[in-house]
Amino acid sequence: MGSTEEMKADAILNAIPWRCFHCDFVTNDLGEAQAHFGDRDDADEFTPICKWWDRLSEDERLANHQQTLKELEAERNETDRQRVAIEGLEYQIDSILAQIKSFKPFRGCNSIYDVFCVYDSMEGRALAAEERLAEIERGAAR
């Protein structure tokens, strides 16, 4: 199947609603379906959340809910920590790019590849100039 055909097939499958035969839950959202049914099709034991929830006592439901809230808060904190770290890295990248562009030969560079190309060219010209200077000195010494 080509990628266009796969996209069409995915669109058709995503348009078909998910329905739970135990509690009549219906959704077109894959995330909601995974939360209700589980996110693995090949699971050995299939228990949708509605059946699992019904098996719990009130105390177990409360404990489960509190644990889920704790995990959610921990995930929020981790997300915030990663967001701050990403912002710091973005700032460093912008700073490095500004420093590179402050050096006149690199002002037209838009990537590290461009910088390496300019640097390689500069190095080649410097080596050629040194070789020419050595030739001139050898000729003057004769």
Say whether both 12 and 50 belong to one domain: yes
Q: Which of 118, 92, 122, 123 is nearest to 106 (CA)?
A: 118
- pLDDT (average), residues 1-24: 82
Say whether both 96 and 108 belong to one domain: no
- pLDDT (average), residues 33-60: 78
- When the pLDDT of each residue in the chain is averaged and rounded to a whole number, the result is 86
Enumerate the β-bridge partners of residue 27. Answer: 18
In a domain, 131, yes or no: yes
Count CB atoms within 10 A of the CB of residue 131. 10
DSSP helix/strand/coil, 26: strand
Instruction: Using a cut of 0.75, tell me whether the model's pTM lies above it.
Output: no
What is the predicted pLDDT for the residue at 133? 92
The band of 109, judged by pLDDT with boundaries at 50, 70 and 90, is: confident
In a domain, 2, yes or no: no
Q: How far apart are CA 78 and CA 67, in angstroms?
A: 16
Least confident piece of the model among 75-84, 104-113, 128-137: 104-113
For residue 49, what are the domain limits? 7-55
Say whether both 20 and 30 belong to one domain: yes
For residue 18, the 8-state DSSP code is E
- pLDDT (average), residues 62-81: 95
Q: Is the dihedral of CA 110, 116, 121, 125 positive or negative?
A: positive
